[in-house]
Amino acid sequence: MNAYIYDKLIFEISKAGRKGYTLPPNDVPFRHVEDLIPEKYLRRTPAQLPETSENEVVRHYVNISTKNHHIDKGFYPLGSCTMKYNPKVNETTSSMPGFRNTHPHTPEQFSQGALELMYELAGMLTEISGMKATSLQPAAGAQGELTGLLMIRAYHDKQGKPRKKIIVPDSAHGTNPASVTFAGYESVNVKSNKNGTVDHDDLAKVIDEDVAGLMLTNPNTLGIFEKQIVKIEKMIRDVGALLYMDGANLNALLGITRPGDMGIDCVHINLHKTFSTPHGGGGPGSGPVAVSHRLEPFLPVPRVVKENDHYRFNFDYPDSIGKVHTFYGNFGMLVRAYTYIRMHGPDGLRGISENAIINANYLLARLRDYFDLEFDSPVMHEFVLSGSRQKAMGVRTMDIAKRLLDYGFHAPTIYFPLIVKEALMIEPTETETKETLDAFADAMIQINEEIKTNKDIVLKAPHTTPVKRLDDVKAAKEINVCFKE
């Protein structure tokens, strides 16, 4: 019976004529489908769909869901992605009929509740980030990056001084140089120093009047805060450039400091990272952008404005870069983020970051004697270990990540950032208990011991998952062949 439930495809369970529904008698005049749809659009053969009973299809998909690792099932220490737990109250509010059933074309006078929520959320994100104004329109962090860069371009064009280059640190997220290229700029790399922060001497070499801006992640992908941000900001200002902050790591700053107070001109905010909206699975996401007074005229339209207790969309911003997303972003994500912020309040938001920082430093303290640490500086919400010591014993970081699956944990980010050899990038977030952190640390330490005493068990991992070790190279090069096999 177990094999029947767990191992068969739903097409193998299917039996002709079996179904999981009943329909009432037809109470409208019968028409042949050929009379309603032109023949060229009709199938020549029936659709090959499985035919199952209701309980069979429910059991099939529930069992598939238990095979997938997700934040409701277990610890997800995915560095730089803040895979925190998503409070279920968010789902309750986003499922309220007035929000769930609102159509994008609903007239403004019948959408006042939704417009008020967006107006207030934009205001809260503006205050949290210390900026001048916020657009909720971008649907993901990467789209937020592109939006910010297009506004930077519009700013310089308005000044009558178009520029060609954007500076990106070597520790940056991969989306940064990609967004730079997509926005029509040349990406200029700047190195990190021995402390893991921006090398100011190297930065000075690449700054000139052709630089439109610097994209900076703070704290950076090593989890290290750029303590010399004021100096960096002055260097950028001296050539008339702007300062962009990748807000992926904002989970470390809430209520402690604000990008606007550091002189940032634009920051994108990943609602699915910092403000607990669901993360992964292909979306939907949300990546609002908050800007300084310099970029405020160029924000996407429409903007939600309030006039005499009435909310409406305003398109009347002549310098705007225009729309960057259909309608006004992914509204359900906005409701979830609004709920999360209102639920915590100012003190609660600060507590989020404080606990994220404590958890990261506790986990680092437990693991630092077992793995290498190439940049040994105080960290914020995440840290990056190196598996170079283990590689010298014949085991790669990839193998460690695979073995972690046998212990019931999702693997951390590996091989990123690129400036750390055999990188293991770990972010515990604030939502995990000390017991969970200890269990993860114990597993990592046990794997390190296995490498010394029985490394084959690591090299051949995972052993307990439905799908065992795959040929990663073949999967990357021959995806269609692997799928068929």
CA angle 179, 184, 187 (to 5 degrees): 60
Q: Residue 482: its pLDDT value, please?
A: 44
Sign of CA dihedral 221, 328, 162, 182: positive
- The predicted model gives 361-368 an average pLDDT of 98
Phi-psi region of 268 (alpha: psi -120 to 50; beta: other; left: phi over 0): beta
The CATH number for 89-344, chosen from 3.40.630.40, 3.40.640.10, 3.30.750.24, 3.50.50.60, is 3.40.640.10
Confidence of residue 358 (pLDDT cuts 50, 70, 90): very high
User: HSE of 312 in the Cβ direction (CA atoms, 13 Å)?
Assistant: 8
| Direct distance between the N- and C-terminal alpha carbons of the chain, in angstroms, rounded to an integer | 25
Q: Residue 478: its pLDDT value, please?
A: 81
> Using one digit for the tens of pLDDT, what is the confidence trace for 166-179?
999 999 998 999 99
Pair of tokens at residue 143: 């789209």
Q: Give yes or no for residue 350 having a pLDDT over 50.
A: yes
3-state secondary structure of 169: strand
Q: For the chain, give the percent of residues with pLDDT over 70.
A: 97
Distance CA 132, CA 121 (A): 14
Q: Residue 30: its pLDDT value, please?
A: 84
Confidence of residue 29 (pLDDT cuts 50, 70, 90): confident
Distance CA 480, CA 2 (A): 30
3-state secondary structure of 356: helix
Q: Are 383 and 365 in contact (CB under 8 A)?
A: no
Q: Give yes or no for residue 484 having a pLDDT over 50.
A: no
Number of H helices, E strands in the chain: 19, 12
Q: Residue 477: its pLDDT value, please?
A: 84
Q: Give yes or no for residue 260 having a pLDDT over 50.
A: yes
Q: Residue 283: its pLDDT value, please?
A: 66
Distance CA 78, CA 425 (A): 7
**Which residue shows structure tokens 């005049």?**
29
Sign of CA dihedral 395, 195, 80, 143: negative
Query: Would you list the domain boundaries of the chain?
Result: 2-67, 89-344, 353-479
Q: Give yes or no for residue 364 having a pLDDT over 60.
A: yes
Distance CA 246, CA 264 (A): 10
The CATH number for 353-479, chosen from 3.90.1150.10, 3.40.50.620, 3.40.33.10, 3.40.50.10860, is 3.90.1150.10
> Using one digit for the tens of pLDDT, what is the confidence trace for 208-255?
999 999 999 999 999 999 999 999 999 999 999 999 999 999 999 999
Confidence of residue 480 (pLDDT cuts 50, 70, 90): low
pTM score above 0.85 = yes
Pair of tokens at residue 320: 């705007």
Pair of tokens at residue 243: 């300062």
Distance CA 360, CA 376 (A): 14
Q: What is the dihedral of CA 461, 404, 378, 265, to 10 degrees?
A: 90
Pair of tokens at residue 48: 């090959």
Pair of tokens at residue 170: 């070597």
Pair of tokens at residue 70: 């997700």
Q: Residue 281: its pLDDT value, please?
A: 67
Widest Cα–Cα separation across the chain: 80
Q: Which residues does residue 291 pair with via DSSP β-bridges, in sequence order?
A: 133, 266
Instruction: List, in sequence order, the alpha helices (H) in 171-210.
Output: 175-182, 200-206
3 compared with 167, residue with greater pLDDT: 167
- The predicted model gives 108-133 an average pLDDT of 97
Distance CA 250, CA 128 (A): 10
Residue 28 class from Cβ within 10 Å (0-12 exposed, 13-18 middle, 19+ buried)? exposed
Q: Residue 64: its pLDDT value, please?
A: 85
Pair of tokens at residue 349: 């938001």
Q: Are 143 and 136 in contact (CB under 8 A)?
A: no
Distance CA 184, CA 187 (A): 9
Distance CA 362, CA 367 (A): 9
> Using one digit for the tens of pLDDT, what is the confidence trace for 402-461?
999 999 999 999 999 999 999 999 999 999 999 999 999 999 999 999 999 999 999 999
Q: Residue 316: its pLDDT value, please?
A: 97
Confidence of residue 282 (pLDDT cuts 50, 70, 90): low
Q: Residue 238: its pLDDT value, please?
A: 97
Q: Which residues does residue 383 pair with via DSSP β-bridges, in sequence order?
A: 426
- The predicted model gives 105-125 an average pLDDT of 96
Indicate the average pLDDT of the chain: 93
**Which residue shows structure tokens 């729309």?**
323
Confidence of residue 481 (pLDDT cuts 50, 70, 90): low
Q: Give yes or no for residue 485 having a pLDDT over 60.
A: no
> Using one digit for the tens of pLDDT, what is the confidence trace for 284-341?
889 999 999 999 999 999 999 999 999 999 999 999 999 999 888 899 999 999 999 9
